[in-house]
């Protein structure tokens, strides 16, 4: 029987309080990357729960700082700051999403061999505190321009001190990511499912 979103939130809350989770223990020497998958219809509830977790976080009591990074907002801010917003808007009128996504991926350096240069990993590693637990959001908003597995593949090479949780609107079966209950995003097996 599937758990309700409220029951899943209880599991997430207990996980965040677990000493093994915070110390990255019990993972077979793997980096502590987690996926909290959920039905896309629960997106607003998930956003509210993450906001509550962030607002109620007390580093002195919890033993960590909770930092939430919305990948969609990071991408939009970057595009706007670089002055590419109008160019991309015009590009969308002339080309399909695959073409536009490839150009945005180049801007964000998603395919760089030097993982520290990919914009998301650089942005987060420049701003994250050593005692932080990181939550990544905005995955559904950024799809199909940026794929979840692309970010996770790069992140685990630059941030390994504390756990990272990706809030994923779709399904993760510990092998495959299926975004928004429609398209298989990719195989990804390095993350642990919070269930």
d(CA 20, CA 155): 21
Domain boundaries, the chain: 5-70+129-193
Q: Which residues does 86 contact at the CB level (< 8 Å), separation at least 6?
A: none
Q: CA Rg, the chain, in Å?
A: 17
**Is the CB of residue 39 less than 8 Å from the CB of residue 167?**
no
pLDDT score at 64 = 87
Distance CA 94, CA 77 (A): 23
According to the model, what pLDDT value does residue 158 have?
63
Maximum mean pLDDT: which of 27-36, 42-51, 174-183: 42-51
Give how far Cα 173 sits from Cα of 2, 8, 35, 105, Å. 13, 15, 10, 26
What SS3 state is found at 137? strand
Q: Which tens digits make up the pLDDT trace of 90-127?
A: 888 888 888 888 888 777 777 765 555 678 888 888 88
**pTM (two decimals):** 0.87
């Amino acid at each position: 029987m599937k758990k309700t979103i409220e029951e899943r939130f209880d599991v997430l809350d207990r996980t965040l309080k677990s000493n093994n989770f915070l110390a990255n223990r019990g993972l077979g020497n793997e980096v502590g990357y987690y996926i909290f998958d959920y039905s896309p219809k629960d997106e607003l509830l998930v956003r509210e729960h993450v906001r509550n977790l962030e607002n109620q976080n007390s580093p002195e009591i919890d033993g960590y700082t909770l930092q939430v990074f919305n990948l969609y907002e990071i991408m939009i801010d970057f595009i706007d700051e670089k002055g590419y917003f109008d160019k991309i808007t015009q590009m969308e009128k002339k080309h399909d999403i695959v073409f536009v996504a490839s150009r945005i991926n180049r801007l964000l350096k998603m395919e760089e061999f030097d993982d520290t240069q990919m914009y998301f990993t650089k942005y987060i590693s420049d701003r994250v505190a050593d005692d932080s637990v990181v939550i990544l959001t905005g995955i559904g908003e950024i799809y199909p321009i940026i794929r979840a597995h692309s970010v996770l593949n790069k992140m685990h090479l630059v941030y390994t001190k504390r756990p990272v949780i990706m809030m994923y609107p779709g399904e993760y079966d510990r092998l495959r990511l299926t975004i928004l209950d429609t398209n298989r995003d990719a195989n990804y097996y390095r993350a642990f499912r919070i269930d």
